[in-house]
Chain A
Amino acid sequence: MIKRINIEPGTVIRGRWYGGEYRVIALLGSGGTARVYLVEDIPGGDRYALKLSTDMAGIDREYRILARLGPMDYIPAVLYRDDCRVGGINCYFFVMTYFEGENLKRVCEAKRMPPKTLVKIAAVTAGICLWLNRRGVFYCDIKPENLVLDKRGGGLCLVDFGGAVKEGEAVVQFTPAFDRASWGRGQRTADEGYQGFAILMMLAEMLLGGLRDTGMGFDALLDTIDKSQLSKGLKKVIIKGLKKDCQSLEDLINSLSNTADLIPGGKQRRRQRLDVAINLALLASIAFFIMVIAVIL
Chain B
Amino acid sequence: MDGKLKTPMQLREIIVITDGRSNIGDSPAGAARIAHRKGIIVNTIGITDSDGAEEPFVELDGIARAGGGICDIIPLPRLGYSVQMVTRQSIQMTIERAVSRQLQKITGCSMEDIPPDSRARVLEYIQRLGDEVDLKCVVALDCSGSMKNKIRTAKNSIQDLLISLKARKGRSCLGMVAFPGGDGRDSRVVSTFTDNFEELAVKLEGIKAGGPTPTYAGIMLSSRLFEEDNPRLYPAEMIAQRQIEAGEHLPQGGNENPFIL
- Hey, which bits of chain A sit against chain B, CB under 8 A? 1-2, 17-18, 32-33, 55-57, 60-61, 63-65, 68, 81-83, 90, 92, 136-137, 164-166, 169-172, 176, 181-182, 187-189
Contacts and interface: CB of A to CB of B under 8 A. Distances in A.
Please give me the 7 A-B residue pairs with the lowest Cβ-Cβ distance, nearest first. A170-B167, A188-B167, A17-B115, A2-B72, A1-B71, A60-B123, A189-B167
Interface in B29-66: 54, 57, 61, 64
B10 interface: no
Contacts of A176: 80, 160
Contacts of A57: 92, 96, 123, 126-127
A127 to B, nearest CB: 21
Contacts of A55: 89
A82 B111 CA distance: 13
Interface in B59-88: 61, 64, 70-73, 80-81, 84-86, 88
Given A32-B81, A60-B123, A165-B261, A172 B116 contact: no
A18 B115 CA distance: 9
B163 interface: yes
A64 B261 CA distance: 8
Contacts of B167: 169-171, 181, 187-189
A178 to B, nearest CB: 14
Nearest to A165: B261
B168 interface: yes
Interface string B82-120: 001110110010001000000000000001100110011
Nearest to A136: B259
A63 B116 CA distance: 10
A203 to B, nearest CB: 24
B60 to A, nearest CB: 8
Contacts of A137: 259
Contact of A170 (B72, B81, B123, B164): B164
* Residue from A55, A57, A171 whose CB has the most chain B CB atoms within 10 Å: A57
Taking residues whose C-beta sits less than 8 angstroms from the other chain, chain B's interface range is 35 or more
Nearest to B259: A136
A292 to B, nearest CB: 19
B164 A2 contact: no
B21 interface: no
A17 B116 contact: yes
Nearest to A64: B120
A64 B120 CA distance: 8
B131 interface: yes
B258 interface: yes
Given A33-B85, A171-B167, A189-B167, 13 more contacts: A1-B54, A1-B73, A17-B115, A57-B123, A60-B116, A60-B119, A61-B123, A90-B112, A92-B116, A136-B259, A170-B168, A172-B88, A187-B166
A61 B261 contact: yes
A2 B86 CA distance: 9
Nearest to A62: B261
B257 to A, nearest CB: 9
Contacts of B164: 170-172, 181, 188
B261 A1 contact: no
Nearest to B116: A81
Contacts of B72: 1-2
Interface string B154-177: 000000100110111100000000
Contact of B163 (A61, A136, A188): A188
Nearest to B130: A57
A170 B131 contact: yes
